Chain A
Amino acid sequence: MSSAAPLIRARGLTKRFGAFTAVDGIDFDVAKGEAFGFLGPNGAGKTSTMRMIGCTSPISDGQLEILGLDPVRDGPRIRSRLGVVPQEGNLDNELTVRENLIIYGRYFGLPRDECARRADELLEFVQLADRGKDLVEPLSGGMKRRLTIARSLINEPDLILLDEPTTGLDPQARHLLWDRLYRLKQRGVTLVLTTHYMDEAEQLCDRLVVMDKARIVAAGSPQQLIDRYSSREVAEFRFAPGIQETLDGQLAGLAERIERLPDRVLLYADDGEAVVIAARDKGIHPETVLVRRSTLEDVFLRLTGRSLID
């Protein structure tokens, strides 16, 4: 494998379950050392894609190459070099925190003392060193997720797959987790993650693809996507109930593009303040006004007409 070859290469990658197509012919490459994201709402096909990359779900059609190997022929060999953080927790509740790490290292064929050494080091890394002897069950959701991340690192993987790493966590736990993932990224570890949080994608991903209904609808760095599919700024107007519907004609022309959501109106323009002033001049008085920069949420709205989290 030459150094320029991607770690993952997918062409026309497809996953079907009976008549249902979960992933519909997607193409992407993941390069060594990058943090690559799949952004999309629930049911977009992200988890199915991750499971195919993880070599635990056979592909239905297309091509997939991971670490230069073929998942069908070399599944166990590829898996020996992956670290997987699944969406659905599968820590062993009957074992202690430390035992969970050690036995997982044993699955990779590591000697027992090496497993113990790495377990202690990793517990330190995910800030669970004082919980090693506790059973898994009383841990909080954030701690369990951190333990799962530690577990995924026990074999010193070339590639880490994280499926919705912070879904269901409170903001503090999310930030702690992001910090650890960011450190891994700094060390040159290749990360592939799925998320339906645009802030997560913006924080962690060098490059991402936006998925919707089993397909990739856009690809690029977070900034590229925003530049391409949204304006620099957004003015958000919220109105008292019933007012929004009466304003249709008056809002037109205030911005490059207008999105009407059930609870607010989004006006896309390079200068958000100017939109606010123009609206006031026209006698439009929203209950609240917010001017902010465009995010991936706006990109997704533009591409699909829906928001990421329903």
Chain B
Amino acid sequence: MAAITRPAPQPAAARWPAMARVVEHRALQYRRTFRASIFGSFVQPVLFLAAMGIGLGSYVDRAGGGLLGDLSYLQFLAPGLLAAAVMQTGSFEAMFPILGGLQWNRTFHAMYATPIRPRDIALGNFAWITIRLLMVGTSFAVVIAAFGAVRQPAALLLAVPVAVLTGLAFAIPIAAFSATQRRPDGFSTIFRFGLTPLFLFSGTFFPITNLPELIRPIAWLSPLWHGVDLSRAILLGTVADAPLLAIAHLAVLGALIVIGALVAFRTVAARLERG
């Protein structure tokens, strides 16, 4: 079976292929749940936009008396929901699949017994999460366009990548945390005290200027607010009004991704080495 005299093969050549194999594994797993997942990624935005955008929106638009200018509530809401939905998927993908690979199925340990390094495992998972977020963001964008919730549908081509960045700004730091966990208990805490409040108070449903002055700075700290505000500026075509703000949003999201990744490299490696 083993060719004992064979010379040593090259180490898994460049790093890109090693990380691509991790993506390949996740894609192979995903094939089994593909249909249900795609279906869900259309159903969720339809439900949200119908209930909040049209249901609540018609009420707001009638009562608001031009509070939003010539903007409908549906148009105001859509970019926020896009960013928030991608945040939720990103967070979820960074919790159970990461804990599963390290604790339950232990598939990451199986990979680590091959030429694949802990860093490849982390990067491959981030790449896979990016792909998933692109899928979720794109289907959300299609639904937004179908609802006529955007004036310039072409702007969605830019809003989706921003939403994906927002999702990664959550997913990657959460993945760094997941790699330190042995049980999923911490995840419900993150949802309850982190993601749900952020979802409600980051300008998704109403402008943060409506928040009491004391609380408003907290919204600035919310990564979701940066994503929501930038998506909204893109979809409403107002980026040029405050270009520095747009850059600041990108910088915050980028910083979370980079710092999160550096921490995740360490926590994933430490976990795999501990066994």
A residues with CB within 8 A of B: 32-33, 47, 51, 54, 56-58, 67, 69, 74-77, 79-82, 84, 86, 88-95, 99, 103-104, 106-109, 125, 153, 155-158, 184, 187-190
Contacts and interface: CB of A to CB of B under 8 A. Distances in A.
B17 interface: yes
B137 to A, nearest CB: 25
Given A90-B106, A94-B105, A103-B25, A77 B11 contact: yes
A90 B109 contact: yes
Of the candidates B8, B21, B24, the one having the most CB atoms from chain A within 10 angstroms of its own CB is B8
B106 A89 contact: yes
Interface stretch (B51-59, B70-78, B112-120, B227-235): B112-120
Interface string B225-251: 000000000000000000000000000
B21 A156 contact: no
A225 B1 CA distance: 31
Q: Which secondary structure dominates chain A's binding surface?
A: loop
Given A106-B21, A153-B1, A187-B1, 10 more contacts: A76-B12, A76-B116, A79-B114, A90-B107, A90-B109, A90-B110, A92-B110, A95-B28, A109-B12, A109-B13
A155 B115 CA distance: 11
B110 A104 contact: yes
A56 B112 contact: yes
A82 to B, nearest CB: 7
Contacts of A33: 4
A117 to B, nearest CB: 14
B21 A109 contact: yes
A51 B275 contact: yes
B35 to A, nearest CB: 15
Contact of B115 (A103, A109, A184, A187): A109
B107 A92 contact: yes
B106 A88 contact: yes
A86 B29 CA distance: 22
B154 interface: no
Nearest to A157: B2
B32 interface: yes
Nearest to A7: B4
A99 B28 contact: yes
B9 interface: yes
Q: Is the interface of B mostly helix, strand, loop or mixed?
A: loop
B273 A104 contact: no
What 10 A-B pairs have minimum CB-CB distances, sorted nearest first?
Answer: A90-B106, A107-B114, A76-B115, A77-B11, A84-B113, A90-B110, A80-B115, A76-B11, A94-B29, A189-B2
Contact of B117 (A32, A75, A86, A90): A75
A158 B1 CA distance: 9
B111 interface: yes
Interface string B1-44: 11110101111110001100100110011001000000000000
B272 interface: yes
Contacts of A56: 109, 112-113, 272-273, 275
Nearest to A85: B113
A79 B109 contact: no
A80 B9 contact: yes
Interface string B111-152: 111111100000000000000000000000000000000000
A104 B114 CA distance: 8
A184 B272 contact: no
A56 B275 CA distance: 8
Given A56-B275, A89-B106, A90-B109, A108 B114 contact: yes
A92 B105 contact: yes
Nearest to A187: B1
Contacts of B29: 92, 94-95
A108 B21 CA distance: 9
Contacts of B32: 94
Nearest to A33: B4
Contacts of A189: 1-2, 4
Interface string B244-271: 0000000000000000000000000000
Contact of B275 (A57, A107, A187, A188): A57
A156 B117 contact: no
A106 B24 contact: yes
17 contacts: A32-B4, A33-B4, A56-B273, A69-B8, A77-B115, A79-B113, A81-B8, A86-B110, A88-B106, A89-B106, A90-B105, A90-B106, A90-B110, A93-B105, A103-B28, A104-B114, A106-B24
Contacts of A84: 113
Contacts of B105: 90, 92-94
Contact of A156 (B1, B11, B111): B1
Contacts of B12: 76, 80, 108-109
Nearest to B100: A94
A77 B1 contact: no
A156 B3 contact: yes
Nearest to A81: B8
Contacts of A82: 113
A89 B105 CA distance: 8
Contacts of A107: 21, 25, 111, 114-116
A288 B65 CA distance: 99
A91 B18 CA distance: 19
Nearest to A188: B4
Contacts of A109: 12-13, 17-18, 21, 115
